[in-house]
Amino acid sequence: MQFSLSSASLESWTGSVLAVGLVESDASGLVEQLESRLELAIKPWLEQRRFKGKSGEVTSLQVLKPGLSSLVFVGLGSAESVTLETLRGAAAKAAKASLGQGDSLGLLLPWGNHDSAAVVAAAEAVRLTSYKDQRFRSDAEPHNVPERIELLGPCPAGTEAALAAVAPVCAGVELARELVAAPPNSLTPAAMADTAAAIARDFGLELTVLERSDCEQRGMGAFLSVSKGSDLDPKFIHLTYRAEGPIDRRLVLVGKGLTFDSGGYNLKVGAAQIHMMKYDMGGSGAVLGAMRALAELRPAGVEVHAIVASCENMVNGSAVHPGDIVTASNGTTIEINNTDAEGRLTLADALVYASKLEPDAIVDLATLTGACVIALGEEIAGLWSPDDTLATALGNAADQAGEGLWRMPLKASYRDGLKSQLADLKNTGPRPGGSITAALFLKEFVDAGIPWAHLDIAGTVWSDKGRGMDPAGATGYGVRTLVNWVTGGATTAA
């Protein structure tokens, strides 16, 4: 899919589908321009269809004229209320309506009051809406997306250059979606390591993969306990992007990488959708997706480390027992009072390792708790951080990406819930406030003094029905927030 700017007007643009955004009681004259070009009474037709220009409305019309086969109208709501999110949503609707309608799409939205970020957001929405995962079908279903996307209308300064980021960023989101959607018999810890290796090879990044014995030597008893019941070897993945020239910031992205979470001996039963626990590597999917994007964007002045302690949580005669006490690589002893709170055990050793890199900041992403899904639902991830500056930066990065993120409290007194009679900590606190005690558990493994933030993406990693620009299934949540945060928005605000 190729994006370009077009100086054509509604009267002169030629292609398959022309999509036009209209506000309520539109006075732009766009409909009149189309009426005179096509010699069609479009206004009465829109009225007949009860199209008012309300946000979310969409209607299309086959015109079958030389140089144009169909028209799509997308409602934008009241003129004053058009935000970046409105344009993103409208672009997604336009993309859906143009599926199977031909090989080119012209898109005219009111960019006027926005900067180039709005055009980039709309372009991303078109591409990400059009994505369809057909890897596991023996016979692909027809899915014809327009190959040439032209953005019409006077675009803000710098748009042309900013559009160059669309393909790398969307490729990163698509990689994350493919990793998350892949079944656990295909996406194993070894396959995660292979994915990191492919990124390293394709873009010249550095990669270290620690095998089980390397992890044993480093004393990663928390991480290693989780995969004791699995036939698959754990893989501790460390992928590094280094900008050429001077480095101002060293950042670490840590992703939870459970390729399957059965719960272990605290087996997931009842309402728990155990078969969905293939997506328990969503954090590492987002981290590898962001690395894929950054590796191609090559932002200056940063070094970015991606850390994924990948494994499966399974049961057999060697599996960790509920009640076992293990020792993490910083010497902390942990009583595993619930084997289903395994993500934090893998992250503990990953965060100790991350701290040793002496970075300027650590951000971890994890499908960590069902409690976070209950608290914030499927459209908002939770953010925990003792560092206001980092929390604000991540909040801004998420806002710009249109990814829901809400800061939650790291209530210090709740740490009492993690006290063990025998060990330094237990891995599971009481049910109330379960996502807060999970975050407090992680905090124990980050060196004090290193700004750190934790994103619980358990709710946002998957969308059963699809919404906005996310087709049903894996969303690729987090990739665009991370890219915006690492680049300081430089890729979209050029």
Name the residues that contact ligand BES, by CB under 6 A. 261, 280, 338, 340-343, 367-371, 373, 428, 434, 458
Of 297 and 368, CB closest to Zn ion: 368
Q: What is the nearest approach in angstroms of Zn ion to the Cβ of residue 284?
A: 12
Q: Would residue 344 show up in a list of annotated catalytic residues for this protein?
A: yes
Q: Which of 344, 426, 443, 480 is catalytic?
A: 344
The span from the CA of 123 to the CA of 107, in Å, is 9
The span from the CA of 459 to the CA of 370, in Å, is 8
The span from the CA of 107 to the CA of 386, in Å, is 43
What does the binding site for Zn ion look like in residue numbers (CB under 5 A)?
A: 258, 261, 280, 343
DSSP state of 339: T
Of 26 and 280, CB closest to ligand BES: 280
Of 322 and 488, CB closest to ligand BES: 322
Residue 456: strand pairing partners: 366, 382
Give me the DSSP letters along 410-468: --GGGGGGG--SSSSEES---STTHHHHHHHHHHTTSPTTS-EEEEE-TTTSEESS-BT
Helices (H), 40-188: 42-48, 84-98, 116-130, 159-162, 166-181
The span from the CA of 109 to the CA of 149, in Å, is 13
Residue nearest to ligand BES (CB): 370
Of 131 and 279, CB closest to Mn ion: 279
The span from the CA of 183 to the CA of 280, in Å, is 11
Q: What is the nearest approach in angstroms of ligand BES to the Cβ of residue 363?
A: 19
Classified as helix, coil or strand, 32 is: helix
Q: Is 340 in the site for Mn ion (CB under 5 A)?
A: yes
Of 359 and 434, CB closest to ligand BES: 434
Quick one: tokens of 274? 């155990």
Classified as helix, coil or strand, 476 is: coil
The one segment of 249-257, 342-350, 418-426, 433-441 that binds Mn ion by CB under 5 A: 342-350
The span from the CA of 433 to the CA of 347, in Å, is 19
Angle between helices 166-181 and 116-130 (to 10 degrees): 40
Phi and psi of 384, rounded to 5°?
A: -120, 130
Q: What is the nearest approach in angstroms of ligand BES to the Cβ of residue 340?
A: 4
Q: What is the nearest approach in angstroms of ligand BES to the Cβ of residue 268?
A: 7
Phi and psi of 118, rounded to 5°?
A: -70, -40
DSSP state of 165: G
Residue nearest to Mn ion (CB): 340
Q: Are strands 404-407 and 325-327 parallel, antiparallel or unpaired?
A: unpaired
Q: Which of 88, 93, 228, 268 is catalytic?
A: 268
DSSP state of 233: P
Q: What is the nearest approach in angstroms of ligand BES to the Cβ of residue 58?
A: 32
Question: Residue 25 in contact with residue 48, Cβ under 8 Å?
Answer: no
What's the number of CA atoms in the CB half-sphere (13 Å) around residue 5? 17
Of 342 and 364, CB closest to ligand BES: 342
Task: Please work out the total of residues on this chain that contact Mn ion, with binding judged by CB under 5 A.
Answer: 3
Q: What is the nearest approach in angstroms of Mn ion to the Cβ of residue 476?
A: 22
Q: What is the nearest approach in angstroms of Zn ion to the Cβ of residue 256?
A: 7
Of 75 and 283, CB closest to Zn ion: 283
418 binds, among Mn ion, ligand BES, Zn ion, none (CB under 5 to 8 A by kind): none
The span from the CA of 339 to the CA of 433, in Å, is 19
Phi and psi of 426, rounded to 5°?
A: -110, 160
Expressed in angstroms, the distance from the first to the final Cα of the chain is 22
Q: What is the nearest approach in angstroms of ligand BES to the Cβ of residue 337?
A: 9
Q: Would residue 268 show up in a list of annotated catalytic residues for this protein?
A: yes
Within positions 215 to 274, which residues make up the interface with Mn ion, using CB under 5 A? 261
Which residues are annotated as catalytic?
268, 344
Footprint on this chain of Mn ion (rule: CB under 5 A): 261, 340, 342
